[in-house]
Structure 1
Amino acid sequence: MSQHTLAVLDDYQNVSLKMADWTPITTAGVQITVFDNTITDTDALVARLRPFSILCIMRERTKFPASLLAQLPNLKLLVTTGMRNLGLDVEAAKKLGITVCGTQSGGNATSELTWALLLGLAYNIVPNHIRMGSSAPGTKWQDGRIPTGLNGKTLGLIGLGRLGKSMAIIAKAFGMNVIAWSTNMTPEFAAAGGAMFAGSKEELFKQSDFVSVQVVLSPRSVDLVNEAELRLMKKTAFLINTARGPIVNQAALVKALKEDWIAGAALDVYDTEPLPADNELRTLSDKVLMTPHMGYVNDYSYEMYYRETVECVAKYLEGTPIRLL
C-alpha cells in the first residue's frame, strides 16, 4: 500500500471530491485531505503542508515560491490545474526533486464571465434585482440610471490573445465596434484577431465605452491601468478586469469611482485574494460589480481540472508521470 498522503488545496467550494472519481488514488492507499481556505502566513502554511507528499493545487490560489518549496521536505509530487502557473517556481521544484504536473484548461469560462459582468454593469442588473426584492415603502420601480445599450458602442480590449479574440467575436454579435491595444500589437495582428488597432493605449481609453483587461500579469503589466489611463476614459464608460488584480492600480480605481471619473467597474480579480473584509472596494457596491475570482470556475472546468489531477497522481504512483511541466 502507498505511504503517500495527499492534500487538495484551496477548494473553496468543496467540489474536488465530487467532480472526479478519486478511487484510483484511494484504492492505492493514499489518504486525501481537502482544505477549503487559503493561508497567507508562511509559517502556518508550512505547518499545514509539511506532512504531505502530494499536493494538488488550484492555479495561483496559493503561491509556491522557492522559499516555500524548500521548507517542504516530504513533498514529492505537485499537481497544478493548468499547464502554466505563474505562482509556482517550477525550476526550484525540479531542483528539489519534486515532480510537477499540470492539467489542460478548456472552455471559455473567463470570457463568459466577462460578458456576464459587462452586461451586469450595462443594465445595472444587481441593484435592480435588489430593488425588486425590497418591500420597503417608497422603493422606486426603476432607478435613475438609464441602461447602456451595446449596439454601436466601442469595446476596448487590452490584449488580444485567446480570450481577447473570443471577446471580439461576441462583441460583434452585439453590434459593437472592437478596438485593441497591447505593448507590441500591430494593425495586422489586431485585424487577425477581429479588432481595429487602437493606435496607442491612450486612444483605447479615450475611445472605449467598455474597457476589458485581457493580458497576462507580468512585471511589465503591473499598474498598466493607472490614474492617467482612468482619467482618459469617458465619464459614461466602464472598466472590466478579469485578468489579474495588480494590472489595475487599486488606489487609482477607487479614486476614479469615488470621484465619478468613470461610470463603474466590474472586477473578478484583486491584489490580495481572498479579498480582505476591510478592503475599500467592498464599500463601493453602488459603483463596482464584484465576483470572487470565478473566471476559470464552472462545471466544465472543474470536471477537467480534477479528472486530470487524478490522472496525474495515478500515473505518478505507477511510475509513469504525465503532463510534466
Structure 2
Amino acid sequence: MQTKLRCAILDDYQNVALSSADWSPILDRVEIQTFNHYMGSEDKVIQELQNFEIVVLMRERTPFPKRVIAQLPKLKLLITSGMRNASIDLKAAEESGVTVCGTEGSSNPPTELTWALILGLSRNLVTENNALRSNRNWQSTVGMDLYGKTLGLLGLGKVGSRMAVIAQAFGMKVIAWSENLTQKRAEEHGVMWSETKEQLLEQSDIVSIHLVLSDRTRHLIGRADLQRMKNTALLINTSRASIVDQEALVEAIRNEWIAGAGLDVYEQEPLPVNHVLRTLPNLLATPHLGYVTQGNYAIYFNHTVENIEAFLKGTTIRPLLPEK
C-alpha cells in the first residue's frame, strides 16, 4: 500500500479550510492536518512541520524564509493563497527543490472591507454602537458626509479601480496617483490624475492605499506626508502596513494631524496584545480581514486541491517563481 503524503494547512483560524472545498479527489493519496493557531516562531514552524511534504499557507500569516525552508527536508510543495506572497523566499524554495504554487482570488472582498472602514470611521459607528449598548449618550458624534468629498487613491489597479466606481456612486470626487499611473489610464476610469503624491495628499478628504509593497513603496507615506494631509482627513490602509511609516502614523493620530485612520494590515501579525495600535483613539482596526470571505476561501482552497492534484500527476499549475 502506497504511503500517503502529509499535508499541513496552517493558520486555519476559523476552522473552515476543510469545509471550504471538496478535498475528496486527493484524500486517497494525501493525509491532511489543519492547524488553527498561529505558531509564533520559526523554530515552532520547523518543529511542527518536520514530517510534512505539502504545506498550505493562508496569505502571509506564517512566513517561509530561507531558514525555515532549509530545515524542512521532506517539504516538496508549498501553496499560498493568492498569486503573490512576499513572506516566501522563492529563491530558497527553488534551490531546495520545493515547488511553490499560488491560487487566484477576488478583488471584491478587500474593496468591500475598505469601504466598511471608511463608512465606520466617517459615521463613528463603533463609538455610537458602544454608547447605545451601554446606555450612554444617545447621539454624541457628528458624521462626515461622503457626498462632495474627495477620495484620493494611491494605486488604481484591480482594487483601486473598484474603489473609484463605488466612490463615484456616493457622489465623491476621485483622484489617483502612483509612480506608474498615467493621465490617460486615470481618465479611462473616470478619475482625475494627480501629478504628484503630495498634491493628492493635500487635496484628499480620505486617502486609501492600494499598492503592492516593494522597495519603492516601503514607507511611501512618512511623517512629512501625514503632516501634509488635512487635519480633517482619514487614512485607510488595507494593502500592506509597511507602505506607511508606523511610528509616524501613531504620532499623526495622537497629535491629530489627521482625523483618524482605518487599518487592516500590520507589520507584525497577529498584533501583539500590548501594541499601541490597540489603544489609539480615532483608529478603526480589523485583524487583516480584507480577503477573509466565504467566496474567497472557496477559491483559495479549491485551487489548492487542484494544485495538489497536478503535483501528484507530476505537473505544476499556478507556479510562483523567483525573479531572475
Write the deviation string for residues 107-146 of structure 1: whole angstroms up to 9, x where unpaired: 41111110111011111111111111113xxx21011x31
- Partner of residue 189 from structure 2, selected from 170, 189, 193: 193
8 Å CA contact 1:155–1:179 kept in 2: the answer is yes
Write the deviation string for residues 21-65 of structure 1: whole angstroms up to 9, x where unpaired: 22222222x221111222342222211122111101112111112
| Corresponding pairs, count | 319
1:268 maps to what in 2? 264
CA distance in 1, matches of 2:118, 2:3: 49
Alignment of 1:39 onto 2:39: yes
Superposed counterparts of 1:11-160, under 5 Å = 11-28=12-29, 30-135=30-135, 139-143=136-140, 145-160=141-156
Q: Secondary structure, in 3 states, of the residue corresponding to 2:274?
A: coil
CA distance in 1, matches of 2:5, 2:42: 23
1:312 maps to what in 2? 307
CA deviation after TM superposition for structure 1 residue 82, in Å: 1.5
Of 43-52 and 237-246, deviating more is 43-52
1:245 maps to what in 2? 241
8 Å CA contact 2:107–2:158 kept in 1: the answer is no
CA distance in 1, matches of 2:191, 2:66: 40
Write the deviation string for residues 1-39 of structure 1: whole angstroms up to 9, x where unpaired: 3331110011121110111122222222x2211112223
- Partner of residue 278 from structure 1, selected from 264, 270, 274: 274
Of 212-221 and 30-39, deviating more is 30-39
CA deviation after TM superposition for structure 1 residue 229, in Å: 0.8
Write the deviation string for residues 58-84 of structure 1: whole angstroms up to 9, x where unpaired: 121111122221111100111111222
Write the deviation string for residues 198-249 of structure 1: whole angstroms up to 9, x where unpaired: 2211111111000001110111111111111111111111000000011111
CA deviation after TM superposition for structure 1 residue 256, in Å: 1.0
TM-score by length of structure 2 reads 0.95
CA distance in 2, matches of 1:59, 1:2: 29
8 Å CA contact 2:4–2:28 kept in 1: the answer is no
2:222 maps to what in 1? 226
CA distance in 2, matches of 1:231, 1:53: 50
CA deviation after TM superposition for structure 1 residue 312, in Å: 1.2
Gaps of 5+ in 1: none
CA distance in 1, matches of 2:163, 2:297: 22
Q: Secondary structure, in 3 states, of the residue corresponding to 1:92?
A: helix
CA distance in 2, matches of 1:194, 1:91: 40
1:203 maps to what in 2? 199
CA distance in 2, matches of 1:157, 1:107: 15
- 2:300 alignment partner AA: Y
What CA RMSD, in Å, does the superposition of the two structures yield over aligned residues?
Answer: 1.4
